[in-house]
Structure formats: C-alpha cells, structure tokens
Amino acid sequence: MENPDATALKKNVQAYLGNNVMAEAETVITEFIQRRDRSDAGDLATDQLLNAIYLVTRERSPVGDDKKTTAQLTDEISHKYKIFLAFFVAALRDRN
C-alpha cells in the first residue's frame, strides 16, 4: 500500500478534524511527510498525524514553554504506537 500524498492527508484531516484546523495543519502535514519519507523514520501512520494535529490545534492546547514541537509530538506518538504494537503482537502470540 502506498503512503498517502499531501492532498490525501489534507482530505483526511478535514474529514476528521474539520476545516478550522487546516491553516495550522498544513505545516504539520508537511513535516509529517518529510519525516515519514526518511529511510530511518520507521512506520508513521495517518492516525499518528491526526493525533499530532489534534494535540496542537485543540482549543486548550499547551502554549509557551509547555507547547511541544510537532516533531516532539510525532516522536512521542510514534514511540507509544510501537509499544502498543509490540504488546499487541505478543498478546496474539500468547493466544496461539
């Protein structure tokens, strides 16, 4: 399965998070594509992009020194996703 391009990602963001986040989401989408396309990035899924955009655009998002960069949020979400995936795979193995 091919990775979605910027147009497809923008449509996903609009569908799930609405038009009001698109101005700020443009930068996040660009950074996400750049990180995703690096050879050392591992797997970055569209839901991770949606989570990062949600976190930085929600009404009560952190500000000032507490506001994390998109890269930091993407790293944290990616790390947690990998932990969840490892746990899920282990649970499946235990069932068999």
Model pLDDT, residue 39? 67
Sorted by where each begins, the domain ranges of the chain are: 6-95
Non-local CB neighbours of 60 within 8 Å, separated by 6+ positions: none
Does residue 21 carry a pLDDT above 80?
Answer: yes
Tokens describing residue 48: 């991770």
If you average pLDDT over residues 8-25, what whole number do you get? 89
Mean pLDDT of the chain: 76
pTM (2 d.p.):
0.60
Percentage of the chain beyond pLDDT 70 is: 62
Query: pLDDT tens digits for 43-82?
Result: 778 888 888 888 777 765 545 555 566 667 667 777 766 6
